[in-house]
């Protein structure tokens, strides 16, 4: 039996979160979704681990870096994809982080996931 890849999607825009979640599920991922830091903390407190975290950089009541900090307390080497409408580059030198600028193609998300999971398995 093969392991289903898992993703945590954090996006405060419901439509974007829904589209990204449905796309990833169609690609065989098991997806948990959250709109902000409080939901992320509740999910992580449940003990679920993830292969990748995909988070918007600017959330309504928190930021992507705050979400990543909380997630990495539970999973220190969790690969992260930041998504933003601005050209920000958080964790710019980290091999465990990538950045996508909106608008992006959904295939770009898969490419970033593949690049992250390959580099984190080395």
Percent of the chain residues topping a pLDDT of 70: 89
- Parent domain of 46: 6-120
Pairwise CA distance, residues 68 & 83, whole Å: 12
Q: What is the pLDDT of residue 119?
A: 60
Pairwise CA distance, residues 56 & 63, whole Å: 8
Q: What is the pLDDT of residue 95?
A: 76
Q: What is the pLDDT of residue 122?
A: 46
Examine residue 23 and state whether it is found in any structural domain, yes or no. yes
CATH of the domain at 19: 3.40.50.2300
**What are 13-46's pLDDT values in tens digits?**
999 999 999 999 999 999 999 999 999 999 999 9
**What are 36-76's pLDDT values in tens digits?**
999 999 999 999 999 999 999 999 999 999 999 999 999 99
Examine residue 17 and state whether it is found in any structural domain, yes or no. yes
The tally of domains found in the chain comes to 1
CA dihedral 109, 111, 115, 121 (to 10 degrees): 80
Q: What is the pLDDT of residue 47?
A: 94
Q: Is the pLDDT of residue 6 over 80?
A: yes
Examine residue 1 and state whether it is found in any structural domain, yes or no. no
């Amino acid at each position: 039996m093969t392991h289903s890849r898992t993703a945590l999607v954090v996006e405060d825009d419901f439509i974007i979160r829904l589209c990204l979640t449905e796309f990833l599920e169609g690609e065989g991922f098991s997806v948990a979704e959250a709109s902000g830091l409080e939901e992320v903390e509740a999910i992580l407190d449940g003990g679920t681990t993830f292969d990748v975290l995909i988070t918007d950089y600017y959330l309504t009541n928190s930021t992507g870096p705050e979400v990543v900090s909380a997630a990495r307390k539970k999973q220190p080497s969790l690969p992260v994809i930041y998504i933003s409408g601005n050209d920000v580059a958080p964790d710019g030198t980290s091999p465990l982080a990538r950045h996508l600028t909106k608008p992006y193609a959904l295939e770009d998300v898969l490419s970033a996931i593949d690049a992250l999971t390959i580099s984190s398995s080395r």
